[in-house]
């Protein structure tokens, strides 16, 4: 009788046995990579804003402190976004006819806030408080990166739970003296762990890793 299958089926069937393991492993590996890639995390991807505000110019060029605009970072959960008046303190005098700044002036005239696009967005089920991190010696740049080098804002951290936990479990590797919290170019010393352990004790840093610390 005629053969049902072509001779090539032999090769195909052997390949499929071999391939099964590798294809399965490949799928897992791809999922692992994609889930941690900027495609998902948006790390390093500059966000378009209504006004192309440059942190680089304002922080490293003009020397503004973080708290000049983000006023509530030391006292509240939310670091605070500056009202248009803060911009207009200078920009009513400087670049006051720049077309680039027209949305700022429009906002000032109409009393409507500028609608910035959030760069760091946490899900609603995560409780996060800026003030406690600042007061326990976690620097701005630890999470937000070298903001003073960013012409447009982008995410410097993946904001995934493993990233949160990595710090919460190993605080001594990240904590710095309170005096250096706003210092953008802070470099951890060689004996960071020793310093970290000392600061953890001094600042009474708790390594909070219970579910309810963030998911309340």
Question: Which residues in this chain contact other proteins in the complex, by CB under 8 A?
Answer: 1, 4-5, 9-10, 13, 28, 32, 35-36, 158, 160-162, 165-166
Beta carbon of residue 159, minimum distance to other proteins (angstroms, whole number): 10
Between 9 and 149, CB nearer to other proteins: 9
Smallest gap from residue 171 Cβ to other proteins (A): 15
Mapped onto helix, strand or coil, the DSSP state of residue 43 is strand
d(CA 152, CA 50): 11
- Of 107, 183, 110, the C-alpha closest to 144 is 183
Q: Quick one: how far is CA 68 from the chain centroid? A: 20
Nearer to other proteins, 36 or 136 (CB): 36
Of 10 and 213, which CB lies nearer to other proteins in the complex structure? 10
Half-sphere exposure of 190 (CA within 13 A, CB side): 0
Q: How far is the CB of 165 from other proteins (least distance, A)?
A: 5
Nearer to other proteins, 99 or 123 (CB): 123
Which residue, chain included where needed, has tokens 């310093």? 195
- Give the C-alpha distances (Å, rounded to integers) separating 131 from 59, 62, 176, 180: 21, 25, 15, 15
CB of 173 to other proteins, least distance (A): 16
């Amino acid at each position: 009788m005629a053969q049902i299958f072509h001779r090539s089926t032999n090769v195909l069937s052997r390949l499929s046995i071999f391939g099964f393991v590798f294809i399965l492993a490949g799928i897992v590996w791809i999922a692992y990579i994609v889930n941690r890639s900027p495609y998902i995390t948006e790390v390093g991807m500059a966000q378009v804003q209504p006004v192309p505000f440059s942190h680089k110019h304002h922080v490293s060029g003009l020397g503004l402190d973080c708290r000049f605009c983000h006023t509530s970072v030391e006292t509240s959960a939310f670091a605070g976004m500056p009202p248009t008046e803060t911009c207009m303190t200078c920009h009513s005098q400087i670049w006051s006819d720049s077309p680039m700044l027209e949305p700022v002036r429009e906002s000032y005239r109409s009393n409507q806030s500028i609608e910035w696009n959030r760069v760091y967005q946490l899900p609603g089920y995560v409780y996060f408080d800026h003030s406690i991190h600042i007061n326990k010696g976690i620097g701005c740049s630890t999470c937000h990166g070298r903001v003073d080098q960013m012409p447009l804002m982008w995410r410097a951290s993946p904001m995934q739970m493993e990233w949160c936990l990595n710090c919460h479990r190993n605080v001594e590797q990240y904590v710095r003296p309170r005096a250096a919290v706003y210092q953008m170019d802070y470099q951890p010393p060689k004996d960071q762990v020793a310093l970290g352990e000392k600061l953890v004790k001094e600042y009474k840093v708790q390594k909070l890793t219970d579910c309810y610390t963030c998911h309340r």
